[in-house]
Amino acid sequence: MTAPIKAVVLGVSAGGFNALHKILPMFRKDLSVPIIIVQHRKADFDSYLINSLNEKCQVPVKEPLDKTNIESGIIYIAPGGYHLLVEKGEVLHFALSVDPPVCYCRPSIDVLFESAADAFGSALIGVILTGANFDGSKGIKKIKSLGGITIAENPETAEVDYMPSCAIRTNAIDHILHLDEIPIFIQKLLRL
């Protein structure tokens, strides 16, 4: 590892509601980095996902707005219908975009992962969980190429195994872990 970890990006699609409710409560309230998530979801104003996670998690869960500064110790989930990007400036912040869908999705995992890789370089962990398309595979390759750490959920534990299987086939995955091992592993890396 060439740099202390500064952020975790996580991509999830079909089966994601259950996966996020299983692993996000396992992160301790002293989380030292932001966790930035794209869950494929349609544009709507339903706050059920955020509210239900906040009831279970020790770490605050928020939907960022455009130009929101990125802070440690917060779990951010992309709003439905918008790509979520990490942008450099005086401080790192989010940008929301209504550019066309990528891999049939907006928000797209690839869009988040590629912009986060540009911003954080080798100080980034990228994680691919359950899902039914190939979104995230391109982004995971970029994270790996810039020296970040890459993780895929073991397809055996994924509710839908297609997305982690596609990521694994890129040969850019450092660690293949069962779902409930992922937060434990990440928190060990953060304490190094």
Q: Which residues are catalytic?
A: 13, 40, 135
Torsion of CA 191, 22, 35, 94, to 10 degrees: 180
Among candidate residues 99, 88, 85, 94, the one with its CA nearest the CA of residue 67? 94
Tokens of 182: 């992922």
For residue 82, give both structure tokens. 């918008």
| Beta pairing, strands 149-153 & 175-177 | parallel
Question: Which residue has tokens 């869960």?
Answer: 61
End-to-end CA distance of the chain: 10
Q: What torsion, rounded to 10 degrees, do the Cα atoms 44, 57, 152, 134 define?
A: 0
